[in-house]
Structure 1
Amino acid sequence: MGAFEPCVWGDFFVTYNPPLSQSLERSMRERAEQLKDQVRGLFEDGEDRSVADVVTLVETLERLGIDYHFRGEIGTALRRILNEEPEHGATSPHDLHVAALRFRLLRQHGFWVSADIFDKFKDETGNFSPSLRNDPVSLLSLYNAAHMATPSEDTLNDVIVFSRYHLEVLRNKLRSPMAEQVSALDIPLQRTVGRLETMNYIREYEQVELNSGPLLELSKLDFELVRSLHLKELKALSLWWRDLYDHVKLSYARDRLVENYFWACSVFHEEESSRTRLMFVKTFGLLSPMDDTYDVHATLEECCKLNEAIQRWDRSAASILPEYLHTFYIKLLDNIKEFEDTLGPHEKYRLSYAEEAIKSLSEYYLHEAKWSNEKYAPSLKEHLEVSHMSLGFPTLAIVMLMGVGNTATKKAFDWAVNVPNIVRASGQIARFLNDIPSYKMGKTNNKDVASSVECYMKEHLIAGEEAVAVISALAEDTWRMMNQACMEIEPALLPAAQLVVNLTKMLEVIYLGGRDGYTFGGDLKSLITGLFLKPIVVG
């Protein structure tokens, strides 16, 4: 039986009090509203703004984390430039930067743009201009744009290799903030967690934009106001979790409430998403010990009993469980039931989707427990059919929708329940990125099922490092499937799809460099400290 590292935070957030006073918060909000009006003014007379101006403004708003205040204006601006390319015939590095930025932003927002736009920047041999090799801004824009490739766009592979190689060559010659941006190539910009990007970009923007107007000030105010709410939620959730974790007495399970909340803020950080965050974190917090029960502690007979009780979804089913699972089972049912009180009359139907999703997840947990008991090593295809579901991402895709507003239509729930390509891709990326550090660090629990890396090694009779390279490539291919799915989805479902993309982005942070930041919470401590505790100087 494996033993997980204890929580690195203890009761820190239970006793921590956010630093903003009510009077200071009130004055900050008043100033923020004034600044929003000023920023809206930047979108006025939009017909007269060049493509370069539009894409620069949108990117800046997104990286500063204040784009959600201007969704309507941004949507209008992007639709205008969809059929309007940068100045025809322009082929300078700066023009390539603008073309790449337009390409990336439009694709990220679900608009199809042909990669042929880059052909005019190449010579007759198909190579980019040599002058580009010394232009880190354009190279970085090109690098990030190429990661919006779809599975059939092999030519963008060469773009990634070309731009990354020359950025690496320039790395030691660059000054801040470009040096920091080039050092972060392992996570392309569009896969970067928005809240972490904002935390870093505020400092970078401050260095290069000495007369930054309302954008920087609004970003700083917004960051601190949102963080104040996050800290209040984190305190309340920490109290909830401490009570739950102490009562269920499942000491073998991971104690990761803070990491769960950190993940939630990567999906939806906005103040308007408070209800959604609380539901997400509580459900995630309940599913984690459920996962650990199946994975590291329960016998196969106990796993079967737990699944039977979950399928019945009734308090009376606790009687069939071993005593140590009674309290957990009741807490699971009661906490999910309590969500109903926060849902409006027209939203209460959502609860049944979440309950069914948890039942389905339990079946997949049991499936893996049977594999473990039988020491069964499936083919990679068979492994993925189960494991892309058992990591819980298709379940969390439904849980995310429970608390959001108009995005969560019945059509969106039915879409998520059917595990469309975007949701499937999310689960597969989670599986691939989870299994690479799992293989490299070795098994911490003798009940662990064979990973996708091990399945591929056995199936193809190859060495571990070669299998890791294949699984890494499959993760990249799956990101491309997600890119394509987001551009093919009907517009009404795109907001729900983008939540799934945001959920998936955190995987790049959790498993960066072969670590497992969820199992080993200390790996994320500095990021969490920066996000929640280090002040952004306002003014």
Structure 2
Amino acid sequence: MSLPASAVPTRINNPMVDIKRPALPNYRPSIWGDRFLSYPTKSMEHDGNLVQHQRLKEEVQRMLRDPVEKLSEKLELIDAIQRLGVSYHFEREIDDLLGRIYEYRLAKSMWKLMKTFTLLLFVFGYLGNKAIKFQVDNKGNFKESLVHDIRGMLCLYEASHLSVHGEDILDEALKFCTTKLESMVANDLIPSDLAIQVSRALKRPIRKCLPRVEARHYFAIYKESASCNEVLLKFAKLDFNILQKQHQMELCHLSKWWKDLNVAENLPFARDRVVELYFWGLGGGFEPQYSLSRKIFTKVGKKLRRQLLEYMKLIYNVILDVYEEVEEELSKEGRLYCIYYAKEAWLNDKYVPTPEEYMSIALTSSGYLILTTVTFAGMGEIASKEAFDWLFKHPKILKGAQVICRLMDDIVSNEMEQKRAHIASIIECYMKQHGVSKQEAIEEFQKQLASAWKDINEDFLKPTQVAMPLLERVLNLARVIDLLYKDEDAYTNVGEVMVEGITFLLIDPVPI
């Protein structure tokens, strides 16, 4: 999410003087109405699903802990657990097993074994580019024989999105696999059991997918796969639906809070997007233990979207109310230091942009430091004081997420905002400075986006500076941007991907 740089006032002399404003935006009203007000706000039984859920979980744990008889089957199991969105239940078991598999790979170095699971080990930080170097010929080109191994090439394509700066071989792998796979899709050369998976990967590689959204899509794919484990699939579906009930309760609470603010009357310039913003926070972290984090994100995030000077007093008062509420929650945990950092983030976010320093101001006005900080505040003891100190040093992963947020937002919203007499966007600034076309400017920013993703990937290399769940929160917020701003501003316009995401995650349960 971003607060447009043009929303920050460049001059305030006399608050009584009428201020010339851009044309009012034609924001659509909420398409959800009072739908989410009808969900229960208190915990409820799940018709025996919790008991069955626990039994199936224990069965999956046994599968992971059983002696390794056929390594490929273990790898398939871990891969499916990740893709189905339930790996948070088995972090210790998976990490231990992957460590053993990594040592085995060093001894065997077998493409036949590892080709389908290169991405899996990349995700956990075990492999660098050495895993794929033996697929390059003596001239430095990828072997054409790879085109006969579509599944292996798909995995190589996915793994290449975890590239970091200096790993040219992965950049070449991405170009090679993208070109070959796109050609195969266009000419119907991919078997039906892989066609849907390949097409989706070309649109949304796993590295940029929200885990919860990806899981919902993967249920159908996994059901039809030869390696489908019925116990795991049933467990994942139950887990999804049980968590969905919790998310619905949270959104009901937030919808009532939002309605009590009487936004339509008090803030007519605002976008009525509390459901969409909760989806944003849910994308940041869907796990049950991060309920408070999602609530804080949604409430504070709504305050970042206000854009009229005369309403700042009302907004400020609501912000104070939110922080007071959060203080009460955190005081029970003895973690009031979180509030200090959250307030510091709020104060440090008030920059005034100029054309010359557009990006430096725009990155700050994106609000991502604030939102990441308050997200950490709701994550429990794992968000230690040291974690907040690390965040306030502006690590690469945070800067990368800010760049992704700012550039993707500017690219898709440029035309609309210029119609409303906004100040020059980053696109106009670049076009004027370098004398290039709009398309050339966008191509340059696409390169910067690719670089920002590499910055994010670098902070995931082991040993990491902070706990993995904290890194994943920042990564997931960047993934939300990629989902909602890839082709359009799906947040403001409530585009197709937003509607589909909310329907999948917050309305329709998974058929068991």
TM-score (norm 1): 0.84
Alpha-carbon offset, residue 37 of structure 1: 0.6
How is 1:288-307 mapped onto 2 (pairs within 5 angstroms)? 288-289=305-306, 292-293=307-308, 298=309
Contact residue 142 and residue 173 of structure 2 kept, 8 A: no
Contact 2:154–2:177 at 8 Å: present in 1 too?
yes
Amino acid at match of 2:491: Y
In structure 2, do the counterparts of structure 1 residues 465 and 441 end up closer, same or farther at CA, with 3 Å as the change threshold? Answer: farther
Q: Which moved more, 1:411-420 or 1:492-501?
A: 492-501
CA shift, 1:10, in A, is: 4.2
The equivalent position to 1:170 in structure 2, one of 172, 180, 184, is: 184
Return the structure number with greater relative CO, CA threshold 8 A, min gap 6.
2
1:405 match: 380
Aligned-residue offset at 1:38: 0.4
Of the three residues 482, 486, 491, the one matched with 1:518 is: 491
Residues 68 and 74, structure 2, Cα contact 8 Å, conserved in 1? no
Name which of 345, 348, 367 aligns with 1:357. Answer: 345
Which of 107, 115, 120 is the equivalent residue of 1:97?
Answer: 115
Tell me the amino acid that sits aligned with residue 253 of structure 1.
Answer: A
- Per-residue CA deviations over 1:216-274 (Å, capped at 9, x if unaligned) read 00010001111111111111111111112438711111211111111111111112211
Match of 1:318 in 2: none
Deviation track 1:64-96 (CA, whole Å, cap 9, x = no partner) reads 0111111111121222233331773645xx446
Q: 1:306 corresponds to which residue?
A: none
For residue 329 of structure 1, the aligned residue among 301, 316, 339 is 316
What is the match of residue 182 of structure 1?
198
The counterpart of 1:9, out of the listed 31, 34, 52, is: 31
SS at match of 1:163: helix
The amino acid of 1:173's aligned partner reads L
Deviation at 1:503, TM superposition (A): 1.1
Q: CA 1:488/1:429 → structure 2, altered by over 3 Å: closer, same or farther?
A: farther
1:232 partner SS? helix
**Which residue of the partner structure matches residue 220 of structure 1?**
237
Structure 1 partner of 2:123 = 108
- Larger deviation, residues 172-181 vs 456-465: 172-181
The equivalent of 2:424 in structure 1 is 450
Give the match for residue 64 of structure 1: 84
* Percentage identity across paired residues of the two chains: 29
In structure 1, distance between residues paired with 2:42 and 2:222:
24
C-alpha change, 1:501 and 1:38, in structure 2 (3 Å) is same
Q: Establish whether residue 281 from structure 1 lines up as the match of residue 269 from structure 2.
A: no
Q: 1:72 to 1:449 in 2, by over 3 A?
A: farther
Deviations 1:449-498 (A, max 9, x none): 32222222122111110000000111011101111122166354433122
**2: distance between equivalents of 1:8 and 1:327?**
22
Q: Which residue of 1 aligns with 2:289?
A: 272
Q: Flag structure 2 segments of 5+ consecutive residues without an equivalent.
A: 1-21
Q: Is the 8 A contact 2:122 2:128 kept in 1?
A: no
Please tell me whether the aligned partners of residues 248 and 327 of structure 1 are also in contact (alpha carbons under 8 angstroms).
no
Cα distance in 1 for residues equivalent to 2:245 and 2:395: 36
Shift of 1:16: 3.5
**CA distance in structure 1 between the partners assigned to 2:73 and 2:258 by the alignment:** 47
**CA distance, structure 1, for counterparts of residue 75 and residue 359 of structure 2:** 39
Q: Of the candidates 130, 133, 158, which is equivalent to residue 144 of structure 2?
A: 130
Structure 1 residue matching 2:472: 3-state secondary structure: helix
Question: Distance between the aligned counterparts of 1:119 and 1:325, measured in 2?
Answer: 56
Query: Which residue pairs with 2:225 in the alignment?
Result: 208
Matches of 1:433 and 1:63 in 2, distance apart? Answer: 26
| Aligned residue identity for 2:489 | D
In the alignment, the residues of structure 1 paired with residue 114 and residue 125 of structure 2 have an alpha-carbon distance, to the nearest angstrom, of: 21
Q: Cα 1:444–1:228, aligned 2, differ >3 Å: closer, same or farther?
A: farther
Tell me which residue corresponds to 1:502: 476
**Residue type at the aligned position of 2:279:** F
Relative to structure 1, the CA distance from residue 444 to residue 334 in structure 2 (aligned partners, 3 Å threshold; closer, same or farther) is farther
Counterpart of 2:459, as a letter, is: A
The reply to whether residue 240 of structure 1 matches residue 257 of structure 2 is yes
- Name the amino acid aligned to 1:35: L
Contact kept? 1:436, 1:453, Cα under 8 Å: yes
Q: Where in structure 2 are the equivalents of 1:432-443 lying within 5 Å?
A: 432-441=407-416, 443=418
| Distance change in 2, residues 1:203/1:418 (3 Å) | same
| Amino acid in the other structure paired with 2:148 | N
User: Does structure 1 retain, via aligned residues, the 8 Å contact 2:42–2:249?
Assistant: no
Which stretch of structure 1 is more off in the superposition, 451-460 or 78-87?
78-87
Q: Deviations over 1:424-470 (max 9, x none)?
A: 11101111111111235552432x33222222212211111000000
Report the secondary structure of 1:482's partner residue: helix
Gaps of at least 5 residues in structure 1 are 299-321, 372-376
> What is the deviation of 1:423?
0.8
Matched residue type, 2:252: K
Q: Which moved more, 1:391-400 or 1:120-129?
A: 120-129
Q: Distance in 1 between matches of 2:366 and 2:262?
A: 21
Q: How many residues align?
A: 485
Alignment-derived partner of residue 383 in structure 1: 358
Specify the code of the residue in structure 1 equivalent to 2:389.
D
C-alpha distance in 1 between matches for 2:482 and 2:134: 33
The letter for the 2-side match of 1:11 is: G
Q: After alignment, is 252-261 or 30-39 more displaced?
A: 252-261
Which range moved further: 140-149 or 479-488? Answer: 479-488
Residue pair 2:83, 2:218 contacting (<8 A) in 1 also = yes
Q: Cα–Cα, structure 1 residues 498 and 530, in superposed 2: closer, same or farther, change >3 Å?
A: closer
Question: How far has the Cα of 1:155 moved from its partner?
Answer: 2.2
Task: Give the direction of change, closer, same or farther, for the CA distance of 1:260–1:89 in structure 2 (3 Å limit).
Answer: closer
Out of 91, 97, 101, the position equivalent to 1:77 is 97
Partner of 1:316: none
Task: Report the 3-state secondary structure (helix = DSSP H, G, I; strand = E; otherwise coil) of the residue aligned with 2:48.
Answer: helix
Alignment of 1:38 onto 2:59: yes
Deviation at 1:160, TM superposition (A): 0.7
